[in-house]
Amino acid sequence: MKAVIFDLDGVITDTAELHYQAWKNLADSLKIHFDYKLNEELKGIGRMDSLNRILNFGGKTDQYTEIEKIALTEQKNTEYVALLDQLSPKSIYPGIKEFLDTLRNQNLKIGLASASKNGPKILELLEITDYFDTIVDPVSVKMGKPAPDIFLKAAEQLEVHSSKCIGIEDSEAGIHSIKTAGMFAIGVGTEKVMKAAGADLVICDTKNLHWDQIINTVNHQYS
């Protein structure tokens, strides 16, 4: 293995609650019910696709023009970005910093494949930008997760063949993206959900990300 490619939201830090608050306020203003169940379904899904799912859920798909929808996503993002200010290095999930150090010591390349256009800003707030050899701009890929595009783009930018990459994700869409990109997939979450999505290795908590265990599982699988 030559590279590890990370998702951001839900893998490196917990931004799901902040996305929830911003979407909830927007949905309330549109008189659409929004709850944690729907928020869960938006994990890994890009901003406009997320809005379309919310409008669809509220039966209001046809009520807004494309221009109005862009304004709505901007409204949500302005609120989300204001909430991001509460992030600091303390917001990094347990074990992630140590894991990044180990990857570096093992001379592995490190990439970011997040659907979030706020990815670079979040890495800055967490003070871990320097660990990343590449960050994919989600605008540069044709299809969002679950399509493989963003993980393939990360591998291309790192100049590593996808079969030599490990992807780490917390969303079902993200695991599908990694697997269709032909990579080894680590799922952060529950065994049942992550295995059903196709994860090769499941960890329930980021503090359990141990390189030795990962590489043993990879070797066992490919032997």
Which residues are annotated as catalytic?
A: 7, 9
Question: Quick one: which H or E segment has residue 103?
Answer: helix 96-105
Write phi, then psi, for 168 (nearest 5 degrees).
Answer: -125, 125
Report the residue number, 54 or 167, with the smaller CB distance to Mg ion: 167
Q: For 51, how many CA atoms within 13 A lie in the half-sphere containing its CB?
A: 22
Report the residue number, 170 or 200, with the smaller CB distance to Mg ion: 170
3-class SS string, 154-186: HHHHHCCCHHHEEEEECCHHHHHHHHHCCCEEE
Binding mask 76-95 for ligand BG6 (x = CB under 6 A): -x------------------
Asked if 165 and 151 touch (Cβ cutoff 8 Å), the reply is yes
Size of the site for Mg ion (CB under 5 A): 5
* 135 beta partners: 112
**Interaction residues for Mg ion, span 154-193 (CB under 5 A):** 170-171
Q: Which of 4, 12, 18, 19 binds ligand BG6 (CB under 6 A)?
A: 19
Which residues are within 8 A (CB) of 108 and not within 5 positions of it... i.e. 6 or more apart? 1, 2, 3, 4
Q: Which stretch binds ligand BG6 (CB under 6 A): 43-51, 56-64, 87-95, 158-166?
A: 43-51
Report the residue number, 157 or 171, with the smaller CB distance to Mg ion: 171
Q: Which does 170 bind (CB under 5 to 8 A by kind): Mg ion, ligand BG6, none?
A: Mg ion
Which residues in this chain contact ligand BG6 in the complex, by CB under 6 A?
A: 8-9, 19, 42-47, 50, 77, 114-118
